[in-house]
Structure 1
Amino acid sequence: MQKTDENEHEQVENIPSSIHDDPAVRRQEQIRAYIEENEIAGGEDEEVYNAAFLNKLLISFEKAVSLNIELREKYVDEPLKFMGSEEELDTAIKSLSVLSNAPKLLALFIKSGSTETLMSLVAHENTDIADEAIKVTSELLDIEDSDLSEEDAEDITNFGHYLVTSQNLGSVIVSFLQQKLMLDELDTEAVADALRIIENLIAFEESDLFAKAFLQTDLVSWLIGSLNDSRHVPTAIRNNCAELLASILVHFPVAFSQDMAKDSSNIDRLLQAIATIRGKKIKKNSDEEGFFKDMFDILRISVRNDEANAQFLNNEGIDLMLILIKDAQHNWIVEEALKVLIETLKGTDRLESALTFIKSGGLKHLFKVFHSESSSNSKKKKKSETTLRQELGVQIVALLLRWLPLDSDERKRVIKKFVVNNFEKLHQFLQIRDELKESVAAEEARQRQERDEDNDDEDDLRHFANEIELEEQLSRAGKDQLQVVNVILAWLLVEYPELLDIVQASRKAEIVASLKEQIELLKKFIDDENDESFEQREAKLDLDLISTLYNELM
């Protein structure tokens, strides 16, 4: 039978004053009163994991905490006299992990006030106690358990919300991690538990919650610092940090890149960590390969932020990428470095990146990509196939032409690459274009035939899904790449009309038609997108440039 608030008040008031004045006892009475007020009715599971069970569990927990505090204060300089209470406290904390089997009790756990007690123990002077508090918190936030019901997942999510909004969980975790790095030997298991809490919050898929928890703390800087501390941080933790950073950037790319730029040393430390790959032979599909790929992804997304990109340039990031392209032991390293170079050349104002690329001798390494792809080995491939390195190289050429000022020496050096050796590179680009055109035409023909054979009465939703899939198939066939090559050739024709003799009038007409199609697609994309995203800004810039090219060629 439930007690009223008045009865509860009377119960507390009737406690003898000597006991009532004891905060620990008073807290235990408050916990018991609340849980009895909110007892859960249920089936067989609730016979074990019910309010009475939680009542007993939390009173034992609070009693262990209070005893430890009392003995620590009484015997400050005699640790042997409070050691036993710490063993009892450790056991009491461990006992809370059973709540992971009963998420429905987490709401009562919050309202009892004992959650606050658990969080306070993360800062306990005894690191074993702090570690156990982190471990239990990690278990209680495990939302990726495949056996969870929708109700259980909701209870865990609400628990996470409370820890973030009311207990400042983000700062608690970051402070814990920072303390761990100050120790002579890093506790791998405890750090892994703390990182798992962060992973669990990401799994909630609520960007506001995660951003509130961590992106205003020093979490990103701590993770980046761990990547570059191979002597102090075990390999397993470094790999975990890289995976976690990669997960953060996938879910929150804009906020992540802003956070990276906040600490001017982040990009420098990341570059130092990536530089250790130079000359290495790395086993395929190994943890080490995954670690470095994660770091390239982190760098690639980071430089989308203008401030982070400036730090990348100041720390000779372009020079490092070019060195890796030259000395790489694996093709994937070359590809990852090229992807980073593409990102540093994207954006709304990346002239400095383009100038630095030219100054650092990037053209020599860039055009070797096309040389290698035009070798005899390449000729054995299907005409429609272009390799990833070639695709990346084409994007870099287009971006250089986007940024380098007309008539500048740097731009002339790019154009010259197409003219020297009897227009060798121009012929290679025309060959690339013709192969892409053939591949795209074949895919378009296949799709037309498929439409003719399809049932005309398919519903709108299915039709829309099919259209998306068809666009993706055209992209895989090389349509996007063909458009980029057409833009490059358009630049060449505008600046050097005499090249028309090599490009030929028929190709020029197709290039103009491609520019017109791109203009229409960009206008539609801009109209459909209302936000000022990175992609939106890119689209507006592309629209201006391609419209100018189109008008010049008409």
Structure 2
Amino acid sequence: MDVTQFFKAPSGPASMKRKMAAEPSDAALKRLRNDEDNDNDEFNGDEDDDRFMHGDGLTEAHRNLLDIVDSAEEAPATIDLPTLKRYVLKLEKSITRNEEMRVRYPDDPLKFIDSEADLDEDLHNLMGVSAAPELYPNLVSLGTVSSLMALLEHPNADIAIATIQVLSELTDEDVVAEASEEGEEGMKALVADLMGHQILDVLVQSFSRLDEFKDGTDDKQGVFNILSVVENLISVDPTIAEKVVSSTTLLTWLLSRIGMKQFDSNRQYASELLAILLQTSRENRLKLANLGGITSLLKAISIYRKRDPKEADEVEMMENFFDALCLALAEPEVKTTFLEEEGVELMIIVLRERKLSRMRALKVLTHSMTGEGGAACSNRFIDALGLKTLFPIFMHKGLKAYKKAYKSHSDSEEDEHVLSILASLFKTSTPENRLRLCIKFSENEFEKVERLLELHEQYQARVHAADMQFERDRIAREEAGGYDGDEEVDAADMRYLNRLDKGLFTLQLVDLVAGYLCTQASEDLVREHMAFLLNRKGKDFDLFIKVLEEYAENTGDATSETNSERALILTVVEKLQIISSS
């Protein structure tokens, strides 16, 4: 006999965490009203007499609804220490009783079925403690974590799944967000105790006993909650991200899970957790590459080169794939693997197909060409004829139709990525490839040069508007009492950050590309045309110089002698000053 079937709760959407029912749902109330209407239609004296003589007069829906109300009424309004101790004591008694019954009747599930049901109920009651994280140190001192760890390996998989759900609720990051300082300390104490009990090993091992594709089980929700617990632990202690990768096979499992073609909530969550693991750890990124993770991500992304995700959750999963790849590309070793797996060529194909994934492919190319190891990606991009695909995007060709198909498209974000790619190509390409890049700007009567100046005017206007608004706010603040010393420093920083947000960074990239273009020795015609267009509006190369000087001043550490990015920008500034004064 399969005893697990007796303990199944109704399974909800796997993409949502299950919560204790606090009150009857609207759907339940609606069903009740419908049942009452049906009862009134069929009501007659004789039948009513029989019903009250032989039963309680309630339909099954009525009884279920009353059970929900009763359970809500029994739950305490607040969780205090005596209530916590009562929950823990009741749970310990249920654990002991269940163990005794299983030992006494190992071959007769019907004998220990009641004790298992009580255990399941007491586990779910413990979820209410999440409302009082300041009591978590008491939970630790009472030894509850040891009991929960033992239940994770309970012979009944549904008890293990219920335990995972309890851990998910207790460690929920929303609990931390809403907690007091005492609550935050309580959460840290609980997480530390869980880590001391090797929670990561036990959770990852639990994957092997759950079959999330088997109908009629809660295994799918169990897998979801395992991922949830891991994410919650990392949100409390970010160093756990590196520990879980180094000490368990979680990363291997995640790569296997995202490799499945069919979309579901657990594949989406696996992609999200993968991106989280790569955010701050070089070791995790390198291990991803060593496990073939770059290949796995490229395969997952390749599906979206010719088709779009079918729903919003799948869009999020696709973005997680691209984000994970961008994070991994921070390491030069990963850039090498990316090149070997023809990642640059795939991104060019994605750009060419003009699907929703286009913006994400631009983002990946931006990351691949930035920093150490980026030069190889820049040269591969030009060698793979990427310029032929990039410049129509730069010129906004076909943009109207694209925006009609994709309402969420952001012109400013696309401009930033395209200009970042162009700046990287100028900085790190070989002389031969840089010449090919410059020639592109002289084609079609210098239309791309004119486009650069259009972008300069567009983003300079946005930054100017932001400056004007900031000045109005500053004057209003001074009239209201002014700033103190610290606030004045913060205000200056906020002004610069606000300017960046309104388009200053894109303006800086525009002028950097223009500066590179004008200072190439072989590009007299391009430089002359640029000067002609500027002179027609009463301007000269000083327009670029001022922007680039501010860019250099705020790039990296100004006191560092090894700030290569700042040095490159200042070199462009010096060359522009020479050209401008000649």
Name the TM-score, length of structure 1 as normaliser.
0.75
Distance (Å, rounded) in 2 between the aligned partners of 1:142 and 1:316: 40
C-alpha change, 1:212 and 1:453, in structure 2 (3 Å) is same
Confirm or deny: 8 A CA contact 1:168 1:213 kept in the other structure: no
Aligned to 1:355: 379
Cα distance change on mapping 1:490 and 1:451 into 2, 3 Å: same
Letter in 1 for 2:451: Q
**Counterpart in the other structure of 2:546:** 513
Distance 1:243 1:290 in 2: 9
Find the partner of 2:418 among 389, 393, 397: 393
Residues 44, 138 of structure 1: alpha-carbon distance in 2 compared, 3 angstrom cutoff: closer
1:27 alignment counterpart: none
How big is the shift at 1:477? 3.9
Report whether the alignment pairs 1:144 with 2:174.
Answer: yes
Aligned residue among 423, 435, 456 for 2:458: 435
Q: Tell me which amino acid in the other structure corresponds to 1:261.
A: A
Q: Matches of residues 284-433 of structure 1 in structure 2 within 5 Å?
A: 286-330=312-356, 333-372=357-396, 387-405=412-430, 407=431, 409-433=432-456
CA contact (8 A) 1:491 1:549 kept: yes
Q: What's the offset of the Cα at 1:188? A: 0.8
1:189 alignment partner, one of 221, 224, 229: 221
Deviations 1:468-515 (A, max 9, x none): 332233224432222212222222222235233212174323323333
Cα distance change on mapping 1:117 and 1:52 into 2, 3 Å: closer
Letter in 2 for 1:226: R
Contact 2:268 2:317 in 1 (8 A): yes
278, 302, 305: which one aligns with 1:275: 302
Distance (whole Å) between structure 1 residues aligned to residue 477 and residue 82 of structure 2: 59
The CA distance in 2 between the partners of 1:418 and 1:218, in whole Å, is 50
Q: CA deviation at 1:214?
A: 5.0
Q: Which moved more, 1:151-160 or 1:415-424?
A: 151-160
1:242 aligns with 2:271: yes
User: Counterparts of 1:488-507 in structure 2 under 5 Å?
Assistant: 488-496=513-521, 498=524, 499-504=526-531, 506-507=539-540
Q: What is the match of residue 176 of structure 1?
A: 206
> What secondary structure, in the 3-state scheme, does the structure 1 residue paired with 2:239 have?
helix
Q: Distance in 1 between matches of 2:450 and 2:90?
A: 81
Q: Which amino acid aligns with 1:174?
A: V
Q: SS of 1:230's equivalent?
A: coil
**Cα contact 2:94–2:118 (8 A) shared by 1:** no
Closer, same or farther in 2 for the Cα pair 1:451/1:159, shift >3 Å? closer
Distance of 2:194 and 2:389 partners within structure 1: 51
In structure 2, C-alpha distance between the alignment counterparts of 1:453 and 1:305, rounded to whole Å: 46
Residue of 554, 561, 571 corresponding to 1:548: 571
Indicate if the aligned counterparts of 1:324 and 1:334 stay in contact, CA closer than 8 A: yes
For the residue of structure 2 that corresponds to 1:495, the secondary structure is: coil
- Which residue of structure 1 lines up, in the alignment, with residue 503 of structure 2? 478
Q: Is the 8 A contact 2:153 2:160 kept in 1?
A: yes
Any residues of structure 2 matched to 1:128-139 within 5 Å, and which?
128-139=158-169
CA distance in 2 between counterparts of 1:152 and 1:450 reads: 38
Structure 1 residues 526 and 108, CA gap change in structure 2 (3 angstroms): same
Q: Distance in 1 between matches of 2:165 and 2:412?
A: 47
Aligned residue for 1:200? 232
Q: What letter matches 2:365 in structure 1?
A: L
Deviations 1:14-51 (A, max 9, x none): xxxxxxxxxxxxxxxxxxxxxxxxxxxxx996585254
Structure 1 partner of 2:255: 224
Counterpart amino acid of residue 98 in structure 1: N
CA distance in 2, matches of 1:425, 1:50: 69
Contact 2:97 2:115 in 1 (8 A): no
Q: 1:120 to 1:50 in 2, by over 3 A?
A: closer
TM-score (norm 2): 0.72
Which of 489, 494, 502 aligns to 1:464? It is: 489
- How far does the alpha carbon of each residue in 1:148-178 deviate from its partner, in whole angstroms, 9 at most, with x for none? 55544533331121111x1111122122124
C-alpha displacement of 1:309 = 2.3
Whole-Å Cα distance in 2 between the matches of residues 493 and 426 of structure 1? Answer: 10
**Any conservation in 2 of the 1:62–1:114 contact (CA below 8 Å)?**
no
Q: What CA distance in whole angstroms lies between the structure 1 residues aligned with 2:466 and 2:137?
A: 56
Following the alignment from structure 1 to structure 2, what is the Cα–Cα distance between the partners of residues 444 and 44? 50
Whether the aligned pair in 2 keeps the contact of 1:178 and 1:222 (CA below 8 Å) is no
Question: Can you list the C-alpha shifts for 1:282-335, whole angstroms capped at 9, x where unaligned?
Answer: 46x7222222122221221121122222222222211221111111333xx211
Helix, strand or coil at the partner of 2:572: helix
CA deviations 1:216-268 (Å, max 9, x no partner) are: 4332332232122135xx61211222333344455x365653453342x1111
Give distance in 2, aligned partners of 1:359 and 1:236: 39
Report the secondary structure of 1:49's partner residue: helix
Contact 1:138 1:197 in 2 (8 A): yes
Letter in 1 for 2:288: M
Alignment partners' CA distance in 2, 1:131 and 1:476? 45
1:257 maps to 2:291: no
How far apart in 2 are the matches of 1:44 and 1:430? 64
TM superposition shift of 1:63: 4.6
Amino acid of the structure 1 residue aligned with 2:550: E
CA distance in 2, matches of 1:512, 1:108: 63
Structure 1 gap segments, 5+ residues each:
1-42, 379-384, 530-535
Over the matched positions of the two proteins, sequence identity in percent amounts to 24
Matched, 1:65 2:90: no
For residues 457 and 126 of structure 2, the distance between their equivalents in structure 1, rounded to whole angstroms, comes to 64
After superposition, the Cα gap between the structure-2 partners of 1:418 and 1:163, relative to the gap in structure 1 and judged at 3 Å, is same
| SS, match of residue 329 in structure 1 | coil
Aligned counterparts of 1:258 and 1:462: Cα–Cα separation in 2: 42
1:245 is aligned with what amino acid? L
Per the TM alignment, residue 362 of structure 1 is displaced from its structure 2 partner at its CA by 0.8
Partner residue of 2:27?
Answer: none
SS of aligned partner of 1:455: helix
Query: Which residue, 89, 103, 127 being the options, matches 1:100?
Result: 127
8 Å CA contact 1:61, 1:93 repeated in 2: no
Distance, in Å, in 2 between the alignment partners of 1:349 and 1:446 is: 41
Is the alpha carbon distance of 1:80 and 1:87 closer, same or farther for their aligned partners in structure 2, counting shifts above 3 Å? farther
* Superposition deviation, residue 369 in structure 1: 0.8
Change (3 A) 1:542 1:93: same
Q: AA paired with 2:150? A: S
The verdict on how the C-alpha distance between 1:432 and 1:359 changes in structure 2, with shifts beyond 3 A counting, is same
RMSD of aligned residue pairs (Cα, Å): 3.6
Write the letter of the residue equivalent to 1:430.
L
Of 485-494 and 509-518, more deviation after overlay is shown by 509-518
SS at match of 2:172: coil
**Judging changes above 3 Å, is the alpha-carbon distance between structure 1 residues 83 and 468 closer, same or farther for their aligned structure 2 residues?**
farther
Checking the alignment, whether the CA contact within 8 Å between 1:64 and 1:89 is kept in structure 2 is yes
Range with bigger deviation, 422-431 or 504-513: 504-513
The match for 2:26 is none
Answer with 483-492 or 499-508: which moved more. Answer: 499-508
Q: Report the CA distance shift for 1:118/1:297 in structure 2 as closer, same or farther (over 3 A).
A: same
* Structure-2 separation of matches of 1:44 and 1:136: 18
